[in-house]
Structure 1
Amino acid sequence: MIIKRADKMGFCFGVSGAVNLCEKIAQNNKNFPQKMYILGMLVHNKTVINDMKEKGFELIKEEELLSGKINITKNDILVIRAHGTTKEVYNFLKKSDCQIYDATCIFVEKIRNALIEAENKGNHIIFIGDKNHPEVKGIISFGKNIDIIASFEDFLDFKIDLSKRYTLLTQTTFNKEIFFKIKDYILEKYNNIEIFSKICGATYERQRAVEKLASECDVIIIVGDKASSNSKKLFEISNEINKNSYLIENLSQLDSNWFDNASSVGITAGASTPEKIIIEIEKFIRGNFDDKHGL
C-alpha cells in the first residue's frame, strides 16, 4: 500500500507558538509553584489540552472569570488562547494584577484591528465565519455594527444598502475557495464594499494540499479534533473530491474496513494536531496493511 502525506499538514506557527509558550511557562514555574490558567482551549485539540493539564495548567472559561467564580490573584499566571478572547475579558484583565501571556494568533489580531479601524471610519462590518466559534466571538466583540454570514448562499441573501460603506472580514480558517466566490461576486456587483482577508496562509496551504491528496489516493485520513474548525474544513474539502475521506481524532477511531481494496492512503492533519498523533496513525497503517496488500 502506498501511504502519502499531504505537502502541508499539522501544527501551524500560531499553534506552535501557543504550545511553546505554555511549555516554557510550565518549565520556568517548576521552582515557583504559581497557579497557571489557560483561558478556554489553548488550541482545538484534546491531546494538546491534556498535555497542558499534565503540566499543571487549569482550563477556565470566560464566564467563570467574569463572574468571579475563579479568583485570579497577582501571583497567578493566565494564558489567553490562540483564538483570542472578548473585549470584555481584556478589559477585565487590565484591572487584574496577574501575569498575563497573550498567545492570540497574529492573524486574529490583524482581523480584530481591521474591524476596529473600519468601524472608526464609519463602515458597517460583514463578517464571514462561524458565529459560534471562539475566534469569531472574540473578534466581533470589538465591534458594534456587524452582520455575520456563514456561506456564499448567505451572502447572496444579504441585503446590501448601496448608500452605506461596508468592510468584509473573514474568520482565519474560512474556506478560501468560498471566500474567492464571494470576493468575485462583490467585485462584479458592488463598489461600496472593501475586502480585508486574513485567512491564515497555513490554513490555505493545507486546504490546497488536501485537494491534491484527495485526487491522488483511494482513502484519505484527516487527523484532527472534531471541534477544530480547520480540521473540519479539510474533511469537507476532501470529501467533495473523495467520498472515502474520514476525520479522526486518534488511532482508536481508525476503522480497518476503510482500507479494503485500497492501494493508496493519503494522510493529512489540522493545524492543531500534534505530530505524535499523526506518526502513531501512520505507523499503524504501515504495520498492518502493507503486507495485506502485498506492496
Structure 2
Amino acid sequence: MIIKRAEKMGFCFGVSGAVNLCEKIIKKNNSLFENIYILGMLVHNKNVVNELVLKGFKILLEEDLLNGKINLSPKDLVVIRAHGTTKEIYNILKKSNCKLYDATCIFVEKIRKALIEAEEKGNEILFIGDKFHPEVKGIISFGKNIKIFASYEEFINFKIDEKVSYTLLTQTTFNKEIFFKIKDYIVVNFKNIEIYSKICGATYERQRAVEKLASEVELVLVVGDKTSSNSKKLLELSKNINENSHLIEDKSQLDLNWFKGISMVGITAGASTPEKIIIEIEKYIRGNLDDKHGL
C-alpha cells in the first residue's frame, strides 16, 4: 500500500509554541508552585492535553474561575491556551497575582488588537466565524456590539447600513475560500467596510494541501481531534473532492473495512495533531492492513 502525506500538515507554530512552553515549565517550575494549570484545553487535541496532565498540569476551567470555585494565589501558575480567553478571565487572572504565561497564538492577538482599535475609531465590527468557538468567544469579549456570521449566506442576508463604517474580522481558522467569496461580495457592493483578515497562513496552506491530496489518492485520513475547528474544515474540504475521507483521532479509530480494494491512502493532520500520532497510524496501516488484507 502507498501512503502519501499532504505537503503541509500537523503542528502549526502557534501550537508548537504553546506545547514547548508547557514542556519548559514542567522542567523548570514544577517544584516552585503548589499548582500548575492550563486554562481549558491548551490546544484542541485530547492526546496532547492528556500527556501534559500526566506530566503534572491540572486543567483550570473558566467557569470555575467565574463562579469563584477556584481562588488562585501567587503560589499558582496558569498557562493561557493557544486560543486565548475572554477579557473577564484575563482580569480575574491578573487580580489573583498568580504566575501567568500567555500562550495565545499571535494571529489571535492581532485580531483582538484590530477589534479594539477599530472600535476606538468608531467602526462597528462584523465578525466571520463560529460564535461557540473559544477563540471567537475570547476575541469578541473585548468588543461591544459585534455581529457574527458563520457563513457567506448569513453575511449577505445582513442589512449593511451605508452610513456606518464597519471593520470585518475573521476567525483564524476560517475557510479561506469562503472568506474570499465574502470579500469579493464586499468589494463589489460596499465602500464602507474595512477588511482585516488574519486567517492563519498555516491553516490556508493545510487547506490547499488537503484538496491536492484528496484528488490524488483513493482514501483520505484526516488526523485530528473531533473538537478541532481546523481539523473539521480539512475533512469538509477533502470530502468535497473525495467522498472517501475520514476524521480520526488516533489509530484506534481506524476501520479496516475502509481499506478494502484501496492501494493509495492519503494522510493529513490538523494543526494540533502531534507527529507521533501520525507515525503510529502509518505504522499500523503498514504493519497490519498489508498483512491481513493483502492491500
The residue type paired with residue 262 of structure 2 is A
Aligned to 2:228: 228
* CA displacement at 1:31 relative to structure 2: 3.8
Deviation at 1:291, TM superposition (A): 5.1
Q: Distance in 2 between matches of 1:81 and 1:30?
A: 18
- Indicate the SS of the match to 2:25: helix
Q: Deviations over 1:202-257 (max 9, x none)?
A: 00000000000000000000000000000000000000100000000111110011
For residue 9 of structure 2, what is the aligned residue in structure 1? 9
Q: Distance in 2 between matches of 1:61 and 1:132?
A: 16
Task: Provide the C-alpha distance between the structure 2 equivalents of 1:165 and 1:108, rounded to a whole number of angstroms.
Answer: 23
Judging changes above 3 Å, is the alpha-carbon distance between structure 1 residues 154 and 255 closer, same or farther for their aligned structure 2 residues?
A: same
**Partner residue, 1:130:** 130
1:143 aligned residue:
143
Distance 2:61 2:179 in 1: 31
**Where does residue 211 of structure 1 map in the other structure?**
211
Q: Where in structure 1 do 4 or more consecutive aligned residues deviate above 4 Å?
A: 291-295
Deviation for aligned residue 1:30? 4.0
Residue in structure 1 matched with residue 253 of structure 2 by the alignment: 253
More displaced stretch, 90-99 vs 177-186: 90-99
Q: Once the 2 structures are TM-superposed, how far is the Cα of residue 289 of structure 1 from its aligned partner?
A: 3.3
Report the residue type matching 1:129 in the other structure.
G
Which ranges of structure 2 fall in alignment gaps of 5 or more residues?
none
Q: Percent identity?
A: 74
- Who is 2:64 aligned against? 64
Distance in 1, matches of 2:222 and 2:253, equals 11
Partner of 1:279: 279
In the TM superposition, what are the counterparts of 1:38-187 in structure 2 within 5 Å? Answer: 38-187=38-187
Matches of 1:40 and 1:118, distance apart in 2: 29
SS of the equivalent of 2:96 reads coil
Deviation at 1:262, TM superposition (A): 1.1
CA contact (8 A) 2:40 2:62 kept: yes
User: Take 2:10 and 2:255, find their aligned partners in 1: how far apart are those partners?
Assistant: 21
Q: 1:32: Cα distance to partner?
A: 3.0
Q: Verify the 8 A CA contact 1:263 1:293 in the aligned structure 2.
A: no
1:23 pairs with 2:13: no
Secondary structure, aligned partner of 1:220: strand
Q: How many pairs are equivalent?
A: 295
Identify the residue that residue 37 of structure 1 maps to in structure 2: 37
CA separation of 1:123 and 1:33: change in aligned 2, threshold 3 A: closer
Alignment of 1:189-208 (within 5 A): 189-208=189-208
Helix, strand or coil at the partner of 1:142: coil
* Aligned Cα root-mean-square deviation (Å): 1.2
| 281-290 vs 127-136, greater mean Cα deviation | 281-290
- CA distance in 2 between counterparts of 1:33 and 1:144 reads 37
SS of the residue 1:50 aligns to: helix
Structure-1 separation of matches of 2:96 and 2:102 = 14
TM-score, structure 1 length as denominator?
0.97
Question: Please, what TM-score do these two structures have when normalized by structure 2?
Answer: 0.97
1:294: how far off? 6.0
Deviations 1:103-155 (A, max 9, x none): 00000000000000111111110100000000000000000120000001111
Q: Aligned equivalents of 1:71 and 1:125: distance in 2?
A: 34
